[in-house]
Protein backbone atom coordinates (compact mmCIF):
# COMPACT_ATOMS: atom_id res chain seq x y z
CA UNK A 1 0.00 0.00 0.00
CA UNK A 2 1.20 3.50 -0.86
CA UNK A 3 0.32 6.61 1.13
CA UNK A 4 0.73 10.17 -0.07
CA UNK A 5 0.86 13.29 2.08
CA UNK A 6 0.05 16.69 0.58
CA UNK A 7 1.75 19.50 2.49
CA UNK A 8 -0.57 22.14 1.04
CA UNK A 9 -3.75 20.79 2.62
CA UNK A 10 -2.44 18.17 5.05
CA UNK A 11 -4.33 15.40 3.27
CA UNK A 12 -3.35 11.75 3.17
CA UNK A 13 -4.39 9.46 0.32
CA UNK A 14 -3.99 5.68 0.22
CA UNK A 15 -3.43 3.55 -2.89
CA UNK A 16 -3.11 -0.15 -3.58
CA UNK A 17 -0.06 -1.08 -5.66
CA UNK A 18 -2.28 -1.30 -8.75
CA UNK A 19 -3.92 2.08 -8.11
CA UNK A 20 -0.54 3.70 -7.55
CA UNK A 21 0.89 2.30 -10.80
CA UNK A 22 -2.18 3.62 -12.61
CA UNK A 23 -1.79 7.09 -11.03
CA UNK A 24 1.90 7.23 -11.97
CA UNK A 25 1.06 6.25 -15.56
CA UNK A 26 -1.68 8.91 -15.71
CA UNK A 27 0.80 11.55 -14.55
CA UNK A 28 3.42 10.24 -17.00
CA UNK A 29 0.90 10.56 -19.85
CA UNK A 30 0.06 14.11 -18.76
CA UNK A 31 3.75 15.02 -18.81
CA UNK A 32 4.23 13.43 -22.23
CA UNK A 33 1.20 15.31 -23.55
CA UNK A 34 2.71 18.53 -22.19
CA UNK A 35 5.87 17.92 -24.22
CA UNK A 36 8.14 16.25 -21.66
CA UNK A 37 9.52 13.54 -23.99
CA UNK A 38 11.90 12.33 -21.29
CA UNK A 39 8.95 11.43 -18.98
CA UNK A 40 8.99 7.93 -20.49
CA UNK A 41 12.31 7.25 -18.71
CA UNK A 42 11.44 8.88 -15.36
CA UNK A 43 11.06 6.88 -12.15
CA UNK A 44 8.21 7.35 -9.65
CA UNK A 45 10.07 9.97 -7.62
CA UNK A 46 10.74 12.08 -10.69
CA UNK A 47 7.16 11.78 -11.96
CA UNK A 48 5.74 12.86 -8.59
CA UNK A 49 8.17 15.77 -8.32
CA UNK A 50 7.40 17.02 -11.84
CA UNK A 51 3.67 16.68 -11.32
CA UNK A 52 3.35 17.90 -7.72
CA UNK A 53 6.58 19.69 -6.88
CA UNK A 54 7.91 19.40 -3.36
CA UNK A 55 4.41 19.48 -1.85
CA UNK A 56 3.61 15.77 -2.14
CA UNK A 57 5.43 12.96 -0.37
CA UNK A 58 4.79 9.25 -0.78
CA UNK A 59 5.92 6.06 0.90
CA UNK A 60 5.05 2.40 1.09
CA UNK A 61 3.23 1.36 4.26
CA UNK A 62 1.90 -1.97 5.54
CA UNK A 63 -1.63 -2.84 4.50
CA UNK A 64 -3.40 -3.31 7.82
CA UNK A 65 -6.75 -4.08 6.19
CA UNK A 66 -5.71 -7.68 5.53
Whole-number pLDDT of residue 11: 93
Task: Report the C-alpha gap between 48 and 43 in whole angstroms.
Answer: 9
The confidence score (pLDDT) of residue 64 equals 73
Q: Name the residue among 29, 30, 31, 4 with its Cα closest to residue 16.
A: 4
Mean pLDDT by 10 residues, the chain (66 residues): 93 94 96 93 94 90 78
- pLDDT for res 66: 67
Amino acid sequence: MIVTFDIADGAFEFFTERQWKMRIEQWREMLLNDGYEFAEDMDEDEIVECQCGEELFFDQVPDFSK
